[in-house]
Amino acid sequence: MKKSHILLLPVLTCFLITSGAFAQAPKYSNEFLSIGVGGRPMGMSGAVAATVNDATAAIWNPAGLTGISGNLQIAAMHAELFAGISKFDYATVATKIDSARTIGFSIVRFGTDDIPNTLDLIDASGVIDYSKIKSFSIADYAFLISYAKVSRFAGLHFGGSAKIIHRKAGDFGKAWGFGFDLGAQYATNNWTFGVMAKDVTTTYNAWSYNTDLFEETFSKTGNEIPKNSTEVTLPKLILGAGFRHHFSEKISTLIELNTDMTFDGKRNVMISSDPVSVDPHIGIEISYADFIFLRGGIQNIQQVKNMDGTKSTVIQPNMGLGIRLGKLTIDYALTNIGSQETLYSNVFSLKLDINKHH
């Protein structure tokens, strides 16, 4: 048995206390929904709010659901993050109601499984009993219902998503939350503009804890016992602009710039101020014959302090590849999930069009 396998108590303590404390420091609540989904958007560093036009738009900008290629589109993704410690899974089914309206249903799961529960490892007499070790999972879930519509105003379409959040730490604690996202896109000539308002009404997660499972152990070890609390996710505004240029009949390039605007005080981003901080990210996609796609992008532009006290600017590059085989599209991204280290993750996603129009 590795030492790390019997260190549940500090890990569990940090998770339970931190989740409760978000009500006082809400900057990074429900951050699993900020990771993003789909090999194409993640390869472009998430700079897709203006041009996303497939089932993944339910997360990036629901207005883009009007662009799905068939009557029905299915998108799915699986990624193993942080050297395989955590699993990130996503699936969406989007279908056209008619020529102007589209509806989508999505599920997102981000979790760490098979965590040893060692609270009962040592009994009252001090005897270690490994048979009492059980496992549990810490996981975040989001369930979304999305709706998009083509406006009567040429080039404009809009949409929204209602989302239910469920966060769970084994049998120790759980939270339920509810929120809304709204988005719009406008296309003119080779330009496309987008706006996405996440958690537009503010999202609240209500936490409750089963303290009977750990109160005695926490008291003996001097750890704070969490209390039922509310976690707050404040609104975020994303503005995007994309430009597509056709070099020839088969070769084209798409460049998109997004800016994420947060309203919860200073963050370590490119433009940091109080109360508004601005985090830009840019992506590019080169396509050939609408068959193969090369992608790249940069994000997380930050100032970091060096060992000698000086500061330097760091960026996070991402890259990706896509192949379209008839109604099936396979996308891949090599991305670094919010870390400045060299711990990159492989992201694979699939997209299938059903009853595709010709």
Give residue 248's pLDDT band: very low, low, confident or very high (50, 70, 90): very high
Q: Give the pLDDT of residue 305.
A: 79
pTM to 2 decimal places: 0.84
Give the CATH number for residue 208: 2.40.160.40
Per the structure, the complete domain to which residue 314 belongs is given by 3-356
> Could you tell me which residue, 230 or 162, shows the higher pLDDT?
162
Q: Give the pLDDT of residue 301.
A: 86
pLDDT in tens, 88-112: 999 999 999 999 999 999 999 999 8
Give residue 17's pLDDT band: very low, low, confident or very high (50, 70, 90): very low
Q: Per residue in 53-65, is it b (16+ CB within 10 Å) or e — as a string?
A: bbbbbbbbbbbbb
Domain count, the chain: 1
- Quick check: 157 and 188 in contact, CB under 8 A? no
Least Cα distance to 159 among 191, 188, 181 occurs for 181
Give residue 146's pLDDT band: very low, low, confident or very high (50, 70, 90): very high
Q: Is pLDDT at 336 greater than 50 in this prediction?
A: yes
pLDDT in tens, 288-330: 999 999 999 999 888 887 888 788 888 889 999 999 999 999 9
